[in-house]
Amino acid sequence: MADPATIAAAPGRSLRIEPLEDNQKGLCCCCGHLAAAAAVAGNALCLTCVPAYALDEPGIDDIATLIWLPHLEQGALSRCVTALHVACAAEGATIHDETLTGRSRDARRVLDALLACRAGSSERIGTDRPSLLRAAVRALEGHKPPRPEGESGLRVLTLGLWFPDHPRRYFDAAAEWAKSG
């Protein structure tokens, strides 16, 4: 499975959220952990991984951010992010609540540490906004995409928020995962 930075460089492909085809049902092809819930550019993805690939989706910068984290591949990062949100959901909280205690507070600290890695993305490519990475890459379509040294350290951190059509979609899903876990 290609990392999101490579997907962003795919010329001529729309990176919008699409419904799953019947033959795409199964585990997410990025994290290999959760059931696929939607597809982006033909890749069947779970709700944690969808925003990491849906870089053409309006409002993507509110749902996900770029971080520099070369020692974790995208799927491993997604499994970690899922675990953080499930830990909060198991306590009836969301990771963005103002007051957190117990494991939810621990989860928030991990998220904050991951969010601090946005600085590494900004230093290397000048932004932590997925839409700007995508726009820059699209502007180069027809040319060989740039592959700066160490580009493979770029990851997309999904924040657990969702698009305006269903803002609580991810939190509701995390609550279900917490029950079944």
Chain residues that interact with Zn ion, rule: CB under 5 A: 28, 30-31, 46, 49, 78
Specify the residue, 46 or 63, whose C-beta has the smaller distance to Zn ion. 46
SS3 148: coil
Q: Report the alpha-carbon distance of residue 44 to residue 98 in Å, rounded.
A: 33
Q: Report the alpha-carbon distance of residue 146 to residue 141 in Å, rounded.
A: 11
Specify the residue, 100 or 158, whose C-beta has the smaller distance to Zn ion. 158
Residues 6+ positions from 57 with CB-CB distance below 8 Å:
15, 16, 17, 51, 63, 163
Specify the residue, 105 or 169, whose C-beta has the smaller distance to Zn ion. 169
In the complex, minimum distance from the CB of residue 177 to Zn ion, in angstroms, rounded to a whole number: 12
Polymer length in residues for the chain: 181
In the complex, minimum distance from the CB of residue 81 to Zn ion, in angstroms, rounded to a whole number: 9
Specify the residue, 52 or 95, whose C-beta has the smaller distance to Zn ion. 52
Specify the residue, 5 or 30, whose C-beta has the smaller distance to Zn ion. 30
Q: Report the alpha-carbon distance of residue 140 to residue 144 in Å, rounded.
A: 7
In the complex, minimum distance from the CB of residue 86 to Zn ion, in angstroms, rounded to a whole number: 13
Specify the residue, 37 or 93, whose C-beta has the smaller distance to Zn ion. 37
Q: Report the alpha-carbon distance of residue 36 to residue 20 in Å, rounded.
A: 8
In the complex, minimum distance from the CB of residue 8 to Zn ion, in angstroms, rounded to a whole number: 17
Query: DSSP alpha helices (H): ranges in 21-129?
Result: 50-53, 60-63, 74-90, 102-116, 118-125
In the complex, minimum distance from the CB of residue 25 to Zn ion, in angstroms, rounded to a whole number: 14
In the complex, minimum distance from the CB of residue 171 to Zn ion, in angstroms, rounded to a whole number: 17
Q: Report the alpha-carbon distance of residue 160 to residue 164 in Å, rounded.
A: 13
